[in-house]
Structure 1
Amino acid sequence: MIIRLEQENDFPVIYDFTKEAFKTAKVKDGEEQEFVERMRKSENYLPELAFVAEENTQIVGHVMLTKTRITNETRTMDGLILAPLTVRLDQRGKGVGAKLMTKAEQESEKLGYSVIILIGDQAYYNRYGFEQASHLGIITDLEIPATYILAKRIGKHDIEDFSGTVSIPV
């Protein structure tokens, strides 16, 4: 298996792949494939942080991180939204998600980011060091239960206070 940057000719495959994979996801809204498309068209899209896992020339996993901002009364800081992490059903439990998460985190650190935020299943993402974002003081104005808004500090940073409201596109 190789992990590589997504390429434009992958986009239609990733669209269909994401739509199919999220049919069996625990946390979903059924529009994840549309979300990917919107994020690619936004100013927050970071092509250097969008990866596919490929085995035998077939995409078996995908992850994308996009830029966001966390604001409070005194400052605004950049962070990343991880959405979505997608693994083909027949490849789940084989470490594909872990490899994609590791690559995404490593590359995010190289670019100087300090926090990754996502909406997902805490039972799954805890294994990667994610916790409820509210534990870091990060909140959102979305009507999503706090147990699904997760965050992780990454890299070597001197930021102690991540508190603020995160902008999560929907």
Structure 2
Amino acid sequence: MDLRAERPTDTPAVRNVHLRAFGDHGLVVADLVDTLRSTVTPEDGLSLVAVEGGQVVGHVMFTRSLLDAPRRLVDVHVLSPLAVIPEFHKRGIGSALVRHGLEILAERAVPLVFLEGDPGYYSRFGFVPGGGLGFRKPSLRIPDAAFQVIRFPEHEPWMTGTLVYAEPFWRHDAVGLRDPDAQDREHPRTGTAH
């Protein structure tokens, strides 16, 4: 398996990874990735792929967001999304992508990386629940246990506050969990909330 930065020629394959990995939610995630891609620069953000047998089988993205700390805004990163094609699950591909990305971000002096995810999976990389460390989640729809953070050496004790997701996460409604039944009850004809 080869881990490397995503290339422009990988775009269709990366989209396919997310469509296959996320099922019914795949289109939202694939569209989010397409939008976030434009925010990744050589100095800021990270988009990595795992290639096996010449095929892109996994993808992870780290993008810049902000921490609204008492002293000032702090540049932080968000790990989202992470996906591996289903038939390649349980081979350590996702773990390898996350570890590689975290190593690169630590070298870039990023102080904090946040995510929404399964604590049982992400704790192996050093992620811990953010609420108990003075961090506030950007949406009440994020379960407390899912709101996680990893602190790097550049983190200073005053760097606490509210995570502010980059605008594409809001535009694609990719923050927290939605209750489709609640939306249907509010607007049974359209299925959307206003």
Which has the higher Rg, Structure 1 or Structure 2?
Answer: 2
- TM-score in terms of structure 1 length: 0.88
In the alignment, structure 1 segments of 5+ residues that lack a partner are none
Query: 127, 131, 135: which one pairs with 2:132?
Result: 135
The equivalent residue for 1:79 is 76
In the alignment, structure 2 segments of 5+ residues that lack a partner are 170-194
Does 2:56 align with 1:51? no
Matched position secondary structure for 2:120? helix
Distance (Å, rounded) in 1 between the aligned partners of 2:29 and 2:147: 16
* Compared CA separation, residues 84 and 5, structure 1 to 2 (3 A): same
Deviating above 4 A after TM superposition, structure 1's stretches of 4 or more consecutive aligned residues are: none
- Alignment size in residue pairs: 164
Is the contact made by 1:136 and 1:162 (CA closer than 8 Å) also made in structure 2? no
- TM-score in terms of structure 2 length: 0.77
Matched position secondary structure for 2:57? strand
* Compared CA separation, residues 158 and 68, structure 1 to 2 (3 A): closer
> Where in structure 2 are the equivalents of 1:89-128 lying within 5 Å?
89-128=86-125
- The sequence identity of aligned pairs, in percent, is 27
Query: 158, 165, 168: which one pairs with 1:168?
Result: 165
Matched position secondary structure for 1:64? strand
Higher strand share: 1
Spell out, residue by residue over 1:83-133, the C-alpha distance to the aligned partner (whole angstroms, 9 max, x if none). Answer: 111112122111111111111011101111011101111111111111111
